[in-house]
Chains A and B, each alone.
Chain A
Amino acid sequence: MKFNDAVSGVFFILFALLLFYLTSDYPGLYGQAYGPDLFPRLIAALMGLSGVVLVFKGAREWSVIPGVTMADWMRSPRHVGNFFAVLLALVLYILLSDWLGFIITGSAVLFGLMIRLRGPAYWKSSILIALLTVVVIQFFFGQMLRVPLPWGLLENYAW
């Protein structure tokens, strides 16, 4: 998704204003004129100013570059699906890994993604790769390096 720079510019101006609002109730620093709000506000000011520059730049190109241009892949359902499959996989991992444990969630996520990207025809090798990756990671990181990857449901089978 490509935006005309004027659109991005307006976004950053609004974002800068939001930052000013969010920092408005920060406490001062014992009698000094600046405090924890100084830095975020400096950043916001520079961001807003850059936004203004972008608005001018974008406005000049408005006739050539429309407000929003769809990327090529957005018209292809397969690629849109891929995009969301990656996000979904990550979100599912975040939500489920504590409960199901690393091995189950990890291999499900890996397997699902590979099926999505390579097609169901490759299910055998996908299962194999998913399980192998997860077991190797569990052994190397969980066992040897003691990263506390969650066991979840497999708690009683922990090794």
Chain B
Amino acid sequence: MKRRAILKSAAMAVAAFAAFGAPEARAEWPERPITLIVPWGAGGGTDAVGRIFANLLEQELGTPVNVVNRTGGSGVVGHSAIASAKPDGYTLGVVTVEIAMMHWVGLTDLSYEDYTVIGQVNFDAGGLMVSTDSPYQTAADLIAAIKAEPDGTFKASGTGQGGIWHLGGAGWLLSEGVDPAKVPWVPSEGSAPALKDMVAGGVDYVTSSLAEGRALIEAGKVTPLANMGEERLDIFPDVPTLKEATGSDWTIGVWRVIGGPKGMPDEVVNKLVPALEKAYNSPEYKEFMDGRGFGMQWRPSTEAYEFMKVNDESFGEVMKKAGLAK
């Protein structure tokens, strides 16, 4: 039968290719294109950071670095894809702050321990924003009113339930001695929809980073009350830190880390860390981050790992107190 013959020759062709394609003697890493997994959608902040680094690393390493977006499930899908890749140095990824939270709410078992960390490349402090129509135009007034009014008078938003800014808001209230349940959290699909809802009068305040509210702040629709970092921000030098505004010790922020699956060979890591550091220090990266209002922060491999660990523990503590952890 003719068909069988065709199938047979096709199978033989495949086999021949397979034999040819068998791994040759292991050359020095990197000898083929590297994939960089971004757990968030094309066009977002993490995507842009990933693409900038892909381009810079491509120049450093002399091999193509391709960005692959794996989105969905509040970041679980992409983070799982990074962690479960072969730890051969050909799959890297952008690990985001959500990794320190999602295992506490029981969405996944993954934590910082499942990654080989190359370096932290960004940190953005949380913020506190109200609509310009709001009667409370300072953080102190706002917290005084929250304390004075009955439960449920105020509503807050910024991310989904159990997301980073939900934690930011809950941690702030705890630090002020207020039960987080007093201010119901209105889940949103992210910072932009939450801010829009606040301007439309849907919620009273939003706790996302000030950089995310920049367009609306400049439009005079939103008033920034405080930033939840250690220091004032270059893009909003007039906005006090939370410490200055109300005396609260609470700080929180999002961060992005370049990493890979656990167990990557040392020789690869030893090549990647300096390459990444060089990329981080490039004028292109600085220009991009400044333009977008994102905060610069560099921590190499072990330091970044320690930072993730400390974050993980403190997040877990607050999430349990706020009733967010399972």
Tally A-B pairs: CB < 8 A: 37
Name which of B3, B14, B17, B184 has the most chain A CB atoms within 10 A of its CB: B17
B33 within 8 A of A: yes
A120 within 8 A of B: yes
B3 touches A120 (CB 8 A): yes
Contacts of A111 in B (CB 8 A): 10
Name which of B2, B6, B68 has the most chain A CB atoms within 10 A of its CB: B6
B283 within 8 A of A: no
B219 within 8 A of A: no
**Cα(A100)–Cα(B11), bound, Å:** 12
Contacts of B24 in A (CB 8 A): 156
**Cα(A104)–Cα(B33), bound, Å:** 20
CB distance from A65 to the nearest CB of B (A): 41
A137 within 8 A of B: no
Name which of B10, B24, B67, B181 has the most chain A CB atoms within 10 A of its CB: B10
A115 within 8 A of B: yes
Contacts of B67 in A (CB 8 A): 146
A155 touches B35 (CB 8 A): no
Give B65-93 as 1s and 0s: 1 = Cβ < 8 Å from A's Cβ atoms: 01110000000000000000000000000
Chain A residue with minimal CB distance to B18? A153
B323 within 8 A of A: yes
Contacting residue for A123 out of B6, B35, B68, CB 8 A:
B6
**Cα(A100)–Cα(B10), bound, Å:** 13
Interface size on A, residues (CB 8 A): 16
A157 touches B3 (CB 8 A): no
Interface size on B, residues (CB 8 A): 19
Within A59-100, the residues touching B (CB, 8 Å) are 100
A153 touches B14 (CB 8 A): yes
B237 within 8 A of A: no
B32 within 8 A of A: yes
B18 touches A123 (CB 8 A): no
B68 touches A104 (CB 8 A): no
B21 touches A154 (CB 8 A): yes
Within A114-144, the residues touching B (CB, 8 Å) are 115, 120, 123
B6 touches A153 (CB 8 A): no
A148 touches B323 (CB 8 A): no
B2 touches A148 (CB 8 A): no
A158 touches B32 (CB 8 A): yes
A100 touches B33 (CB 8 A): no
Contacting residue for A30 out of B21, B35, B66, B184, CB 8 A:
B184
CB distance from B15 to the nearest CB of A (A): 10
A120 touches B6 (CB 8 A): yes
**Cα(A30)–Cα(B183), bound, Å:** 12
**Cα(A100)–Cα(B35), bound, Å:** 18
Chain B residue with minimal CB distance to A115? B3
CB distance from A129 to the nearest CB of B (A): 14
B3 touches A148 (CB 8 A): no
Contacts of B184 in A (CB 8 A): 30
Contacts of B20 in A (CB 8 A): 156
Chain A residue with minimal CB distance to B68? A148
Q: Can you name 7 A-B pairs with beta carbons within 8 Å?
A: A30-B184, A115-B6, A123-B3, A153-B18, A154-B21, A155-B32, A157-B21
Known: A108-B10, A146-B67, A158-B33. 11 other contacts (CB 8 A): A30-B184, A100-B14, A104-B14, A111-B10, A123-B3, A148-B35, A153-B14, A154-B17, A155-B21, A156-B20, A156-B24
What is the interface of chain B, defined by CB distance below 8 A to chain A?
Answer: 2-3, 6, 10, 14, 17-18, 20-21, 24, 32-33, 35, 66-68, 181, 184, 323
